[in-house]
Structure 1
Amino acid sequence: MKPVAVFISVHFSTQQQTVWVLIAMPNLDLYYMPSPGPSRAVVMTAKAVGVELNKKLLNPKLGEHLKPEFLKLNPQHTIPTLVDDGFVIWESRAILIYLVEKYGKDDSLYPKDPQKQALINQRLYFDMNTLYDAFASYYYPLLRTGSYGDAAAWTKVQNAFELLNTFLEGQEYVAGSQLTIADISILATIATIELVDFDLTKYPNVAKWYANAKKVTPGWEDTLEGLLSRKHLFDAKKPEFK
């Protein structure tokens, strides 16, 4: 843990004495890229629980995620990876749970109630295995080949949004009555999908939720620069497709 000096003024009758106190602060290293949704979800969650991240940029194009020192931390060499005073955890949704359970001032982002927690977990798995997977299947080929995925991949995207639209029927948040890490994770995914000109208006519940989530999620503004850099990657490939 990194000690951080903080001074407190203490008054004794007519005299004032300044006392220096050492307070241990979290030493959190985040190995990340600013543009992908999983990294942005971690940044927003850290903001929500009030912890500072020592952000360490990795560039996969330069093979930085394959260097021995990083492989020692994470043999799967996935991004993002969090190191908390020697403890290493990767996979963004696992990181979100860890951050709120260890550093959250309360349990609002990830309630301890088993049923509420189970619903949040389900939405997190939906985000990873259905929503994000559908996005990657259809849109990531654009980055590699200049062409979108096939018709089956597009159907997966539509089906995923129809499901999310159903989840949000009559609901302000994706997993209950308040903002949770499920909203934060899915917000990061939807923001990525929207920047490739996906029409959210066809899914009114999703569009309404997305507009609100951007307003109420701590750290949203902190991720915009990374999000825009993601947009530039896709925009650079669109002329080739057209």
Structure 2
Amino acid sequence: MTILIDPPRFEAHGRRWSHLVSDSDLEELHAFARGCGIPPRGFEGDHYDVPEERYAAVVAAGARPTDGRELLRALVASGLRMQKRRGDRGVARVRDVRLADGVVVDVDLIVSDREADAARVFAALVFVHDASNDLAVVHSVWRDEWGAPGGGREEGETVRENAVREVHEETGLVLEGEALRPLGYERFRGVEGSGPWACGRDLLQLYGAGVTGRRPPLTTTHDDSSDRRWVTPAELERLCGHTFWWPLAAAVLSPRGG
């Protein structure tokens, strides 16, 4: 296992940056970054961004200097590379997630203020907040867990129509499609079993939206959720902090991205 770093040549935010990667193990990479005092916010899904002024110290701590091409080859060969658009931020790759139907997937969690490719989106979720920044959550019968309202996209729907319909069905709240704000997306890759990702629909779109007033009543017109309530951000973490998608929720809600 080797930690690699390329020269600080990438310019952003008025500084130059290096990329720090592992050739085999993200846990090794996280441990090394912690040891160097690199903050978690520097993680981009498959690498850490390291400012130019810390390059020498990171090399002294044991990272092997290399050029950008070799670093990229090592990252691709490791299987750790996370494909994403420029400007999107990778949060985590969660491996071997077993879904409620027994299908096993790897999931990339990505923060983005741009909508995902609609042709690839099979479902949408919405973090809905009220005037006091409390959040609407529903308990899914199928998944037997709490989460943001949302669900699968129906034939002929736009992604925003999908999101608006699901929120209304599960909470009774009426949202305007144009008011939805993209927060990020989840990318699924099948490991065991089949799903829409086998047909190229591998993305779940995450939005944020607000409603007026404090904790308006929540109702439902469908039986796919067994309960619904308003919760504080701290209560949301207690309910959902164990889920595979929580790192993405934490990234967009703290500070609140919805």
**Is TM > 0.5 for Structure 1 vs Structure 2?**
no
Bigger RCO of structures 1 and 2 (CA < 8 A, at least 6 apart): 1
TM-score range, shorter chain: under 0.3
More helix by share: 1
TM-score after normalising by structure 2 = 0.25
